[in-house]
Chain A
Amino acid sequence: MTAMAEPEVGRARVRKEDERLITGRTRWTDNIALPGMVHMALLRSPTAHARITAIDTSAAKEMSGVIAVYTGDDLDPGGEVGMPNAWPITPDQKTPRRPMLAQGTVNFAGEAVAAVIARSAAEAEDALAEIDVDYEDLPVVLGLDNAVADGAPLVHEDMGTNKSAEWIFDSAAAGSGGDVQQAMSSSDVVVTRRFRQQRLVPAFMEPRSVVVDPTAPQLTMWSATQVPHILKTMVAMTLGLPEHQVRVIAPDVGGGFGGKLAVTPEECAAVVVAQKLGKPVKWTESRSETMVSAHHGRDQMQDISISASRDGTITGLKVDLLADMGAYLGIVGGGVPVLGAFMFNAIYKIPAYRFSCTTVFTNTTLTDAYRGAGRPEATFAIERIMDELAAELGMDPMQLREKNWIKHDEFPYTTVSTLTYDSGNYEAATAKAMQLFDYDGLRREQAERRARGDRVQLGIGISTFTEMCGLAPSRVLGSLDYGAGGWEHAAIRMLPTGKVEVVTGASPHGQGHETAWSQIVADQLGVGFDDIEILHGDTQSSHKGLDTYGSRSLAVGGIAVVKAAEKVIAKARKVAAHLMEASEDDLEFADGKFTVRGTDTSTAIQDVALAVFAAHDLPEGVEPTLDSEAVYDPENFSFPHGTHLCAAEVDTDTGQVRLRSYVSVDDIGKVINPLIVEGQMHGGLAQGIAQALYEEAVYDEFGTLTSGTFADYLVPSAMDLPSFTTDRTETAATSNPLGVKGVGEAGTIASTPAVVNAVVDAVRHHGVDDIEMPLSPMRVWRAVHKGDTAAGGPGAEAGGGLGSIDSAHGGAQ
């Protein structure tokens, strides 16, 4: 009689958390005020590299409202505390100690030097100006090529080098492919380029903030962090606190993009200060502080060579990276470019591959994970050079890709970098994208504009990408020397009134976990969407977890939720059978009800929950609880993929780029909530396009960040972006029961090369074969009119441009 309820999974539900997030009527960390709370402000170094010869805090201590002023030596007299790096990429990696407050030297402009504690935030900030620091300048190390040059001055003199580590993958050594040198020397064509991945600022909306309450044996820390669970363990280890006496709460968190995947000096300093004073302490940064002291992203120099036969079959790929770590290593640090190592081969069948990466210190803000973390950099380089190879061969760039990609009937496919892609259908996504885009029509218009020498030239950019998501199988992380596993935890609490609390270890910071998890649980347990509350981010209620980054929440954390729900149903089945005096085997569970097969006798899971709460009549040996816990460790990564097509108009008189249309067809497997997917795609595309056209963290010759405000660091708005045409194909992941893959980073990873390829395509007939990012109007204009396409930063030699056939390798035609 009752129709099957419409499944929640797949519904485009408006997010249940949005009202409070958008109006700000919620527990942002900075909204928290505790009795007796004091405020911390940090004095930051104006200089990029200097020896601190003296700090005089006496005048600051006399200022109104000031309670204390601390230097690095005050907080850590022994000089023993250093922020954690969880991923030493090689056994001999050089890892400098990163103190809470600078001790002895400052190594980047923006490093905290002293802390003022005052009754109010305003008084704390007023007193900063009264601290007198004597700096003795040291030579400033800037730029990757400069930092690794012979005789370069050193960021950390005691290390004797600016190189942190060198990490190498060689398919010949790994047994997953041939020798790349051999492949290249016997190939018809070798194309070589140097691409620069400029430095970016994650630019999350909510600045970082921390409140520490030491007024109980168990210290409580609120932090605007992506990683409350990691933070709890790491703060305990870093500061030598007993872990059971640390509680971390990430209340609602306003974005992160990887920028809050960190254990920061500010967080640790707040703990030490709170303990010293015995009072709650709050620190909330200004946007200016975020720009210079929260970690940056990208910043690589990529030397890439690809070889192929004349018919377009790829024979080898060689990548040499220099990766700028800034002055210290962050929690992932050198692991970011290493993640990229697995993605340069992308969706292609490449028989020989060699990757090397040298991580390098400079006197700049440190770099670490930023949306995509290693994978956007890799995707950019391979998708850019595929276009260059196509131009060299005189092939259509899509045909070249098609010739080399893994066919849909070849999955599972083990790549040259040793990952096994479980599923995918590049043909289907591409066919759909080409049709939505009107590829042939735009190519015709492009030819017409070229023929008549139109002021506005049209270009088409392609990006057929994949990424590794769902970080990560713990054994794989172990093999890469990462400091933790990649599992995720979930728990379900069945309340007496039939309502459900779901605890997740994946701590959201804007992604919509509460809505998506509710949809999953509603279907699994057959309870109403509105009867489910998702608890997260507080290590007291969510005692176990590995948090949110790397598009892992759904593909790992979501599966843990499913596993926990299965356990609830298994427990409830026993009780339901007892209540209905039936055999467990005769019960069917659907739409929240256990029904005795072939009868209309049924009992709802809510009734079972109440019966279990009362516990008056339970089967022998059954504990009075339906609550469950599950920890899920994925067997494999997931591999979303897609085809992105961009049409760009270039005004050749001014160099201005206008994106005319943008089509993305993504395959992220099964979709829980299409509206959330749409939001992730739009935001991701905006961020990836921003790297291509707008954003760059720029340092001057003294190591001062000149793009230190949003007036200079250009984050685009909707006004600057085209209307996106987003669509999907759906090839279920085979590695998890929901068939999901993850969508958090897809747009960012795919879009940057699509845009740059489109712009280069528009002006290739002017002799342009690369333009350094971001593609500012001046850079585009110079490329068209002056042949200036420099990769390498201000003053560097022109890079990718000339001599695409490398005669040194014997392949010149």
Chain B
Amino acid sequence: MIPAPFDYVAPSTVDEAVRALADAGEDAKVLAGGQSLLPVLRMRLAAPTTVVDLGKIGELKGVRDEGDAVVIGAMTTHYDVQRDPLVHDHALLLARATDTVADPQVRHRGTFGGSLAHADPAGDLLAPALALDAEMVIQGTGGRRTVSAAEFFQDFFTTSLAPEDILVEARVPKHTGWTAHYEKFNRVAQAWSMVAVAATVRAEGGTIAEARIGLTNMASIPVRATAVEQALVGRSADAETIRAAAEHAAEGTSPTVDGNADVEYRQHLAKVLTGRAVEAAMAG
């Protein structure tokens, strides 16, 4: 469990980091907390020639208010996201999902942007980012660009980040006054999600005015349960409506098979958990 040798650089600005990545070529890896990368290095599943540590770049940390969006720096730790009042007030779903990430040690070291860039389909922050229509701000050698979450996640562990790109921050449109719930299903407390459902709703009286549902680990990328959303909007939030809407949860999903779940069981779970997530979100 000793990584293969590599060069280590710890730039202090994003510009330096992008340059370091460009200089290092395709065999460089970004270290953004290390909760996924370090095990991979130790098991020698990856042997990069250079590791670029973003941990010393102050501009990548923290959450700020930008009018219609909450902007979360990529190197903000899960622990800081969990406790941030802006996130709580305007992107509650992210806070709820972050609460379920691994264990306290991981949440103190792991980062928001690191999780998104790693793009593990069982990671808990992808579906909320998708459901909230987050935009990813990326800096590469050609400057900055912004891509939607839907464009950002491309496949298992694959995003639209080029080798020399750095995820700088995520702009999350404000969902002020929306209630939210992240329904996570796993076998032991600190394990990855077998399936999870991210649900956030805006209610007007007893009616669901808007709903956003994202599914974790139901495909190679996070999935938006649009059919469920459509079946909810404009309806009163009674148990039967929610149950019927949740029946659509597996539509368009293509989950993987592992020792914990086959396709049939995962799709069944997606429906059950979607119903529970929406109910809990409605309950606030």
B262 within 8 A of A: yes
29 A-B pairs within 8 Å (CB atoms) are namely A122-B5, A126-B4, A126-B5, A129-B44, A286-B1, A286-B2, A286-B42, A288-B1, A288-B43, A653-B272, A654-B185, A654-B273, A698-B259, A709-B39, A709-B43, A711-B191, A714-B187, A714-B188, A716-B188, A717-B188, A717-B189, A720-B188, A776-B260, A777-B185, A777-B260, A778-B260, A778-B261, A778-B262, A781-B265
Known: A121-B2, A287-B1. A720 touches B268 (CB 8 A): no
Within 8 A of A (CB), among B239-284: 259-262, 265, 268-269, 272-273
Is the beta-carbon distance between B189 and A719 smaller than 8 angstroms? yes
The verdict on B190 contacting chain A, using a C-beta distance below 8 Å, is yes
Interface residues of B in 170-205 (CB under 8 A from A): 185, 187-192, 194
User: A111-148, CB under 8 A of B: which get 1 and which 0?
Assistant: 00000000001100110010000000000000000000
Q: How large is the interface on A (under 10, 10 to 19, 20 to 34, 35 or more residues)?
A: 20 to 34
The complex places the Cα of A716 from the Cα of B187 at a distance, in Å, of 9
Q: 1/0 per residue B1-13: CB within 8 Å of A?
A: 1101100000000
Q: List A contacts of B265 (CB < 8 A).
A: 778, 781-782
Taking CB as reference atom, which chain B residue is nearest A64?
B5
Cβ contacts under 8 Å, A707 to chain B: 259
Complex Cα gap A535–B138 (Å): 62
Q: B residues 187-246 with Cβ under 8 Å of A?
A: 187-192, 194
10 A-B pairs with the lowest CB-CB distances in the bound complex, closest first: A719-B189, A286-B1, A122-B2, A125-B2, A778-B265, A714-B188, A653-B272, A720-B188, A716-B188, A778-B261
Other than the given A698-B259, A717-B189, 16 more pairs (CB < 8 A) read A125-B2, A126-B4, A126-B5, A129-B44, A654-B272, A694-B188, A711-B192, A712-B259, A714-B187, A716-B189, A717-B190, A719-B189, A777-B185, A778-B265, A781-B268, A782-B265
Residues of B within 8 A of A778 (CB): 260-262, 265
Q: Does A661 contact B (CB under 8 A)?
A: no
Q: Which of B43, B188, B189 lies at the interface centre, i.e. has the most chain A CB atoms within 10 A of its CB? A: B188
Shortest Cβ distance from residue B103 to the other chain A in the assembled complex, whole angstroms: 8
Q: Tell me the complex Cα distance, A368–B166, Å.
A: 50
- Chain B residues with Cβ below 8 Å from A122 are 2, 5
Chain B 28-51, CB-CB to A under 8 Å as 1, else 0, gives 000000000001001110000000
Contacts of A287 in B (CB 8 A): 1
Please give me the residue from chain B that is nearest to A785 by CB atom. Answer: B268
Residue A497 CB within 8 A of the other chain? no
- Which residues of A (281-316) have their CB < 8 Å from a CB of B? 286-288
Is residue A656 contacting chain B, with contact meaning CB distance below 8 A? Answer: yes
In the assembled complex, A218 has its CB within 8 A of some CB on chain B: no
Q: Which of A286, A287, A707, A777 has the most CB of B within 10 A?
A: A777
Cβ of A418 within 8 Å of any chain B Cβ, yes or no, is no
Chain B min CB distance to A772 (Å): 13
The answer to whether A719 touches B190 (Cβ under 8 A) is yes
Closest to A698 in B: B259
Residue of B nearest to A289 (CB): B1
- Give A109 Cβ to nearest chain B Cβ, in Å: 15
CB distance from A196 to the nearest CB of B (A): 15
Residues from chain A with a CB closer than 8 A to the CB of B190 are 717, 719
Given contacts A121-B2, A287-B1, A714-B191, A706 and B185 within 8 Å (CB-CB): no
Which residues of the partner chain B approach A716 to less than 8 Å between Cβ atoms?
A: 188-189
| Distance A777 CA – B5 CA, assembled complex (angstroms) | 42
For B3, give the chain A residue with the smallest CB separation.
A122
Contact with B along A478-512 (1 / 0, CB 8 A): 00000000000000000000000000000000000
Closest-CB distance, B100 to chain A (whole angstroms): 12
Check B187 against A777 for contact (C-beta < 8 Å): yes
Question: In whole angstroms, how far apart are the Cα atoms of A619 and B192 in the complex?
Answer: 74
* Chain B, residue nearest A125 (CB): B2
The interface bits of chain A over 618-632 (1 if a CB of B lies within 8 angstroms of the residue's CB, else 0) are: 000000000000000
Bound-state Cα–Cα, A411 to B42, Å: 57
Give CA–CA (A706, B259) in the complex, Å: 9
* B44 CB to nearest chain A CB (Å): 8
Q: Which residues of B contact A715 (CB under 8 A)?
A: 188
Q: How far is the CB of A77 from the nearest CB of chain B, in Å?
A: 31
Complex-state Cα separation, A782 to B5, whole angstroms? 47
Map CB proximity to B onto A767-780 as digits: 1 under 8 Å, 0 otherwise.
00000000011100
Interface string of A756-791 (1 = CB under 8 A from B): 000000000000000000001110011000000000
- Complexed CA–CA distance, A286 and B251 (Å): 43
Q: How far is the CA of A656 from the CA of B186 in the complex (A)?
A: 9
> CA–CA, A697 to B192, complex, Å?
18
B187 touches A776 (CB 8 A): yes
Q: How far is it, in angstroms, between the C-alpha of A286 and the C-alpha of B269 when the chains are bound? A: 36
Chain B residue numbers with a CB within 8 Å of A653 are 272
Q: Name A285's closest neighbour in chain B (CB-CB).
A: B1
Chain B CB within 10 Å, residue with most, of A653, A706, A715 = A653
Q: Which residues of B contact A286 (CB under 8 A)?
A: 1-2, 42
What separation, in Å, do the CA atoms of A778 and B195 have in the docked complex? 12
| Cβ A720 vs Cβ B189 within 8 A | yes
A711 / chain B contacts, CB cutoff of 8 Å: 191-192
CA distance A126 to B43 in the complex (A): 12
Min Cβ gap B118→A in Å is 14
Instruction: Give Cα distance in the complex from A181 to B75, angstroms.
Output: 71
Chain B positions within 8 Å of A709 at CB level: 39, 43
CB-nearest residue of chain B to A653: B272
Min C-beta distance of A759 to chain B, whole Å: 14
**Which residues does chain B contribute within 8 Å of A714, judged by CB atoms?**
187-188, 191
In the assembled complex, the CB of A702 is this many whole angstroms from the nearest CB of chain B, namely 15
- Chain B residues with CB under 8 A of A656: 185
Contacts of A125 in B (CB 8 A): 2
A716 and B103 CA atoms in complex are apart in Å by 13
> Could you say which residues of chain B place their CB within 8 Å of the CB of A782?
265
Q: How far is the CA of A602 from the CA of B273 in the complex (A)?
A: 77
Among B1, B39, B187, contact of A694 (Cβ-Cβ < 8 Å)? B187
Q: Name A696's closest neighbour in chain B (CB-CB).
A: B259
Q: With a CB–CB cut-off of 8 A, which chain B residues contact A719?
A: 188-190
For B39, the chain A residues whose CB sits under 8 A away are 709
Contacts of B5 in A (CB 8 A): 122, 126
Report chain B residues within 8 Å CB of A121. Answer: 2
Render A706-734 as a binary contact track against B, CB cut-off 8 A, 1 for contact: 11010110111101100000000000000
B144-180: contact bitstring with A at CB < 8 Å (1 yes, 0 no)? 0000000000000000000000000000000000000
Q: How far is the CA of A493 from the CA of B43 in the complex (A)?
A: 49
The answer on a CB contact under 8 Å between B259 and A654 is: no
Name which residue of chain A comes closest to B4, CB basis.
A126
Assembly CA distance A122 to B269 (angstroms): 44
Chain B residue numbers with a CB within 8 Å of A720 are: 188-189
A712 nearest in chain B by CB position? B259
A777 to B268, CA, bound (A): 12
Q: In the complex, what distance in Å separates the CA atom of A656 from the CA atom of B189?
A: 13
